[in-house]
Structure 1
Amino acid sequence: MKKYLITGLLVWMPLAVTIWVLLWVLGIINGIFGALVGATQAVAPVFHDPLERLLDVPGLGLVVVVGTLLLTGMFVANIFGQWALRQWDRLLTHIPIVKNIYSSVKQVSDTLFSSNGNAFREAVLVQYPHAGSWTIGFVTGKPGGEVAAALVEEHVSIYVPTTPNPTSGFFLMMPRSQVKPLSMSVDAALKHIISMGVVPPDGPPNNLPG
Structure 2
Amino acid sequence: MSRIMRWFLEGLVVLVPILITVYLFSAGINLVADVLTQTIGPYLSRELPIHGRWQVVFISLVLVVGVTILIGAITHLWLGKHIVRLVDQVLTHIPLVKLVYAAIKDGVNAIIGDRREFDKPVLVSIGEMQVPGFITRNSTEDFGLDNHVAVYFPMAFSIAGRVVLVPADKVRPLDNSSAEVMSFLVSGGVTSGKKKR
TM-score w.r.t. structure 1 length? Answer: 0.56
Q: Which amino acid aligns with 1:133?
A: M
**1:65 is matched with which residue?**
64
d(CA) in 1 for partners of 2:84, 2:193: 44
Question: Structure 2 unaligned runs (5+)?
Answer: 1-22, 27-49
CA 1:99 to 1:166, structure 2 compared with 1: closer, same or farther past 3 Å? closer
CA 1:159 to 1:177, structure 2 compared with 1: closer, same or farther past 3 Å? same
**2:148 is matched with which residue?**
155
Count of aligned positions: 149
The DSSP-based 3-state class of the residue aligned with 1:57 is helix
- Comparing 148-157 and 78-87, the one that deviates more: 148-157
d(CA) in 1 for partners of 2:162, 2:129: 15
CA 1:78 to 1:190, structure 2 compared with 1: closer, same or farther past 3 Å? closer
The DSSP-based 3-state class of the residue aligned with 1:170 is strand
**1:88 is matched with which residue?**
87
Task: Check conservation: 2:138, 2:149, Cα contact below 8 A.
Answer: yes
The DSSP-based 3-state class of the residue aligned with 2:151 is strand
CA 1:115 to 1:185, structure 2 compared with 1: closer, same or farther past 3 Å? same
**2:134 is matched with which residue?**
138
Where does structure 1 differ by over 6 angstroms across 4 or more consecutive aligned residues? 52-56
Which protein, 1 or 2, shows the higher relative CO under an 8 Å CA cutoff with sep ≥ 6? 2
Q: Which amino acid aligns with 1:176?
A: A
For residues 41-190 of structure 1, the aligned pairs below 5 Å read 57-58=55-56, 59-119=58-118, 121-128=119-126, 131-139=127-135, 141-142=136-137, 148-162=141-155, 165=157, 167-190=159-182
Task: Check conservation: 1:157, 1:171, Cα contact below 8 A.
Answer: yes
CA 1:76 to 1:116, structure 2 compared with 1: closer, same or farther past 3 Å? same
Question: Structure 1 unaligned runs (5+)?
Answer: 1-31, 36-51, 205-210
Distance apart, 1:96 and its partner CA: 2.5
CA 1:166 to 1:80, structure 2 compared with 1: closer, same or farther past 3 Å? closer
Distance apart, 1:65 and its partner CA: 0.5
d(CA) in 1 for partners of 2:121, 2:106: 22
Equivalent pairs: percent with the same residue? 23
d(CA) in 2 for partners of 1:176, 1:143: 8
TM-score w.r.t. structure 2 length? Answer: 0.59
d(CA) in 1 for partners of 2:96, 2:179: 36
CA displacement, residues 153-190 of structure 1 (integer Å, 9 cap, x when unaligned): 24332122455x46454321223332101112234435
CA displacement, residues 82-133 of structure 1 (integer Å, 9 cap, x when unaligned): 11111111112222321221122112222222233332x23211023xx232
Answer with 1 or 2: which has the greater Rg.
1
The two structures, once aligned, show a CA RMSD in angstroms of 3.6
